[in-house]
Amino acid sequence: QTSYTDKGEKPQRGRFIHFHSITFWVGNAKQAASYYCNKMGFEELAYRGLETGSREVVSHVVKQDKIVFVFSSALNPGNEEMGEHLVKHGDGVKDVAFEVEDCDFIVQKAKERGAVVVKEPWVEQDKFGKVKFAVIQTYGDTTHTLIEKLNYKGLFLPGFHPPLFKDPLLPKLPSTKLSFVDHVVGNQPDLQMVPVAEWYQKNLLFHRFWSVDDKQLHTEFSALRSIVVTNYEETIKMPINEPAPGKKKSQIQ
């Protein structure tokens, strides 16, 4: 186990604040959101769908303290991007969003260092204010959306409305006392941990926070290696794991 004290130089601009939200692409967004509310202590926060003018994708947003999950499904059968993702991965995380300061600067620097920008910065607004977004590709089919709130006062993001339906069961259920997202793990194929960790260090100016190898993280049958990368302020932690040889498959295979 290794802890690191060298954060590298402080980025002159473009601060990463915290995890904003995690978006899951699922077969049934309404059912997934309902499950997290009924079983895991979340509550409905916001909605975007046919009733709000979104004709292709429906999204149910749920919240618990500082944790925000977005469950999105295609509304039409011909949605190739979401359909192929579901066939390949099943219900799963598509995007891990970070709230940032100076989105333009972060994107420009990442692009200069070779990062793939899926969507250049753009602004959305409604009566509650403006939000700037950009999307960067990370490992596999996963993306990071950068979100910069420009004095935005709405309940989630522009285009989202209050939930259409409040589940009457939820107030009667006990609290589960989950408070915030501590870390989001990216499990990699063998030999991809170091290149992916270095991608964060190079493109987002994250630094190594902690690492552990298979001598420490193993059972008789299963083992893995991990490098945790984090932003300068250490408010966002991303462990990058890879399998290590054992008698049986690694716990992440």
Domain boundary among 122, 140, 172: 172
Q: Are 215 and 171 in contact (CB under 8 A)?
A: no
Among the listed residues 184, 207, 147, the one whose alpha carbon sits nearest the alpha carbon of residue 11: 207
pLDDT level of residue 219 (50, 70, 90 thresholds):
low
Bridge partners (DSSP) of residue 227 are 211, 240
User: Is residue 60 located within the same domain as residue 135?
Assistant: yes
Report the pLDDT value the prediction gives residue 252, as an integer from 0 to 100.
Answer: 64
User: Is residue 107 located within the same domain as residue 186?
Assistant: no
Report pTM.
Answer: 0.94
Per-residue pLDDT of 64-91, as tens digits, reads: 999 999 999 999 999 999 999 999 999 9
103 CB burial (10 A radius; 0-12, 13-18, 19+):
buried
How far apart are the C-alpha atoms of 11 and 139, rounded to whole Å? 23
Domain count, the chain: 2
Domain boundary among 172, 199, 215: 172
Q: What's the CATH code of the domain at 211? A: 3.10.180.10
Non-local (6+) Cβ contacts of 90 within 8 A are none
Among the listed ranges 12-16, 147-151, 217-221, which one has the minimum average pLDDT value?
217-221
Report the pLDDT value the prediction gives residue 216, as an integer from 0 to 100.
Answer: 57
Non-local (6+) Cβ contacts of 25 within 8 A are 72, 73, 82, 85, 86, 89, 91, 92, 94
Residue type (1 letter), 146: L
Q: Provide the residue range defining the domain that includes 39.
A: 16-172
Residue 238 lies in a domain: yes
Quote the mean pLDDT of the chain: 92
More confidently predicted of 189 and 145:
145
Q: How many CA atoms lie within 13 A of 71 on its CB side?
A: 20
User: Is residue 220 located within the same domain as residue 145?
Assistant: no
Which residue matches tokens 């193993």? 218
Whether the pLDDT of residue 105 is over 80: the answer is yes
User: Is residue 168 located within the same domain as residue 206?
Assistant: no
User: Is residue 157 located within the same domain as residue 191?
Assistant: no
Q: What is the mean pLDDT of residues 247-252?
A: 67
User: Is residue 59 located within the same domain as residue 100?
Assistant: yes
